[in-house]
Amino acid sequence: MALGRPAFNATSATPLYEQAADYIAAAIASGELEPDQKLPAERDLAEQWGIGYLTVRRAMQELRERGLVVSRVGKGTFVAERPGA
C-alpha cells in the first residue's frame, strides 16, 4: 500500500507534522485507508514524502492521540477500528 505524496506547505502556520497527520486522517476518513490496514514504516514515509523521520514520528503520535491509528509492538502501525464498527 502506498500513500501518495502530500502537498506540504512549508510556509503554513500549520506545523509539518500536523499537515502529515491531517493527510493520513483524510485518507482514513475517505476510506482510502481501511480499518486494520497496516501503514508504511515511518522511515519509508519520511523518505517517500521528503520530510524528516522525526516529523513523521510526531505525525503518528498525533494520529494515535486522535484515536485514528494504533501501534503494535513488533508489527507496525495500523488504522484503528472505527467507533461503533
Cβ burial of 8 (10 Å; 0-12, 13-18, 19+) is middle
pTM: 0.90
Q: Which residues pair with 79 in a beta bridge?
A: 69
pLDDT tens-digit series, residues 65-78? 999 999 999 999 99
Helices 53-65, 16-29: axis angle to 10 degrees equals: 50
CA–CA gap between residue 26 and residue 29 (Å, rounded): 5
Structural domains of the chain in order of their starting residue, each with its CATH number: 16-79 (1.10.10.10)
CA–CA gap between residue 76 and residue 19 (Å, rounded): 21
Q: Identify whether the C-beta of residue 64 lies closer than 8 Å to the C-beta of residue 29.
A: no
pLDDT tens-digit series, residues 24-45? 999 999 999 999 999 999 999 9
